[in-house]
């Protein structure tokens, strides 16, 4: 579990309208590696990909390109493009089954996957498990949260709160992320960013 960071300060002077990342290669859905045993999540299977950053000290929530839901490395690259000295945070939910949180602050990257078993089926979940140098679970009963439970502790979501939310496997993963945004007091912005999904 990563050490707590100081309260983060954010870059200003960036136009919020520039934040929707729409220049990512949408053909990524078709660029499947034939040697890969995992099928990418389709647009219909991706619940949402959103990011949080701050502009002029105000939190912003923005939709990101859907293919990022299949590639942790590219998601990290795109989060680094967002206008915040101390970084940005991305959220991915797939098919109501699991969610991933990625926080990028300079060279520091934190990740959280709420259901490790998803790594046996979905590319981004496998990417997170690989990033954490863990093995893909072999048993469907081995569900567990992996990564940094304190990923948003300095933003108001304690590790205990995150564990309670992320470990609720009876709930739709999109609704679980909504609970996180409730804790962040950004539920309205989250709903606006995901309205079309």
Check: CB of residue 103 under 8 Å from CB of residue 152.
Answer: yes
Q: Is the pTM of this model over 0.85?
A: no
Which long-range CB contacts under 8 A does 183-190 form with residues at least 24 apart?
183/152, 183/156, 183/157, 184/52, 184/59, 184/152, 184/155, 184/156, 184/157, 185/156, 186/52, 186/59, 186/61, 189/59, 189/60, 189/61, 190/50, 190/61
pLDDT band at 12 (very low <50, low <70, confident <90, very high): very low
pLDDT, tens digit, 9 for 90 and up, residues 73-125: 999 999 999 887 667 999 999 999 999 999 999 889 999 999 999 999 999 99
3-class SS of residue 49:
strand
Q: How far apart are CA 30 and CA 32, in angstroms?
A: 6
């Amino acid at each position: 579990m990563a050490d707590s960071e100081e309260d983060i300060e954010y870059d200003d002077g960036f136009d919020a309208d520039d934040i929707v990342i729409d220049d990512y290669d949408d053909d990524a859905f078709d660029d499947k590696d034939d040697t890969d045993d995992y099928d990418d999540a389709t647009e219909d299977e991706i619940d949402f990909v959103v990011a949080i950053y701050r502009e002029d000290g105000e939190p912003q929530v923005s939709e990101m390109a859907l293919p990022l839901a299949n590639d942790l490395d590219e998601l990290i690259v795109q989060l680094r493009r967002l206008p915040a000295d101390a970084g940005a945070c991305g959220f991915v939910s797939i098919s109501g089954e699991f969610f991933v949180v990625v926080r990028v602050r300079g060279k520091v990257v934190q990740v959280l996957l709420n259901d490790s078993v998803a790594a046996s089926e979905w590319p981004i979940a496998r990417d997170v498990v690989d990033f954490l140098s863990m093995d893909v679970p072999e048993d469907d009963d081995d569900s567990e949260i992996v990564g940094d439970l304190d990923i948003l502790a300095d933003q108001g979501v304690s590790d205990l709160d995150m564990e309670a939310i992320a470990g609720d496997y009876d709930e739709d993963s999109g609704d679980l992320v909504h609970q996180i945004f409730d804790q962040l007091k950004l539920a309205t912005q989250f709903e606006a960013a995901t309205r079309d999904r």
